[in-house]
Amino acid sequence: MNDIKFVADIGSNHNRNFARCLKLIDAAKDMGCWGVKIQIFQADKLYAKGYIPNDFERQIFPISWTYKVADYCKQKNIKFGGTPFDLEAARTLNYYADFMKISSFDILRLDLIEACIQPNKELIISTGMAIPEEILNTRKLINKNILIPKHIYYLHCISDYPTKPEDCKLGNIKALKNLFNYHEYYNTKVGWSDHTQDINTLYKAQMQGAEMIEFHIDLDDQLGYESINGHCYTPKMMGKTIYNILKIESTIDIQYWNPLTPEMINKRNFRADPADGLRPMRKIR
């Protein structure tokens, strides 16, 4: 049994405000997250001409912040990771990040995936919209590479913002595990990338065997760019959720079947006696 790794995705909720970005990192650390993740993209390298959304500038994480944010995460003892959307961003993040993430929209970009393969770093791939053949193609690429990531996490997700809890199909977490249940797919783990803003879904993902849970975060003011979509958690929403899930996870392998401890012997005496059905046992009445 391994502790689940929780990753908080800042997304565009920094609003291009550096102080707000640092507050989001603080929030992720206080929640109990293993890592925090940024996204690096540029309009002309992300969208074809004529398809760039309005108000796009506010969403962009300035590349010049990268080393500062990486250093801040190191001070806070939280892993720093990023999702690149082009090869230049991948090169920048490879230098600073502790882990790399491929978005579900980029799973067909084998060139980008290859650029993110680094030894001793986790590589995370979201599988939303992908069919098994496309998912396995990414793993075959990784297997051919002389550099092998520390672990490869495949995260089941629904690429909908927000996702309705009833549409999550969390059984696909186990399906992913079965897909990689072969000896050649070593170092492979599975998990859930959440877009629901539903706490119960996080618990259910843990029950399905998620080894990593990623979710989007905003501050309690909910003024982040993405919060309007209704898929971001705040510190107030999360409360002790991560703590509770990790506590549940830590007890899974503990053996409780030991009725002969002094405490249990005493409790056993207060069960109903089979002779007359009354409590406590007749021997101590």
The per-residue pLDDT for 264 is: 65
Same domain, 29 and 99: yes
Alpha-carbon distance of 133 to 10, in angstroms, equals: 30
pLDDT tens for 157-184 read 998 899 999 999 999 999 999 998 754 6
Alpha-carbon distance of 92 to 83, in angstroms, equals: 11
Higher local confidence (pLDDT), 55 or 125: 125
In the three-class reduction of DSSP (H, G, I as helix; E, B as strand; rest coil), residue 47 is classed as coil
The per-residue pLDDT for 102 is: 96
What is the pLDDT averaged over residues 188-213? 96
Q: Comparing 71-75, 241-245, 249-253, which segment has the lowest mean pLDDT?
A: 249-253
The per-residue pLDDT for 1 is: 43
Same domain, 56 and 125: yes
Domain holding 272, by residue range, is 255-285
Same domain, 248 and 265: no
Structurally, how many domains does the chain consist of? Answer: 2
Same domain, 68 and 195: yes
Same domain, 89 and 224: yes
Alpha-carbon distance of 36 to 101, in angstroms, equals: 11
Same domain, 120 and 232: yes
Same domain, 170 and 267: no
C-alpha separations of 145 from 76, 110, 113, 239 in Å: 33, 12, 11, 41
Alpha-carbon distance of 241 to 106, in angstroms, equals: 30
Same domain, 237 and 267: no
* Polymer length in residues for the chain: 285
Q: What is the CATH number of the domain that holds 19?
A: 3.20.20.70
What is the pLDDT averaged over residues 131-146? 90
Higher local confidence (pLDDT), 232 or 120: 232
pLDDT tens for 12-59 read 999 999 999 999 999 999 999 999 999 999 888 888 888 888 888 889
What is the pLDDT averaged over residues 139-148? 85
pLDDT > 70 in the chain, percent: 93
Same domain, 262 and 249: no
Whether the CB-CB separation of 285 and 269 falls below 8 Å is answered with no
Whether the CB-CB separation of 179 and 140 falls below 8 Å is answered with no
What is the pLDDT averaged over residues 106-132? 93
Write the CB contacts of 249 (distance below 8 Å, at least 6 apart in sequence). 1, 3, 4, 206
The per-residue pLDDT for 261 is: 64
Same domain, 166 and 33: yes
Q: Comparing 1-10, 74-83, 164-173, which segment has the lowest mean pLDDT?
A: 1-10
Same domain, 270 and 217: no
Same domain, 28 and 45: yes
Q: Comparing 104-108, 247-251, 260-264, which segment has the lowest mean pLDDT?
A: 260-264
The per-residue pLDDT for 221 is: 97
Mean pLDDT computed over every residue of the chain: 90
What is the pLDDT averaged over residues 147-161? 89
> pLDDT band at 196, cuts 50/70/90?
very high
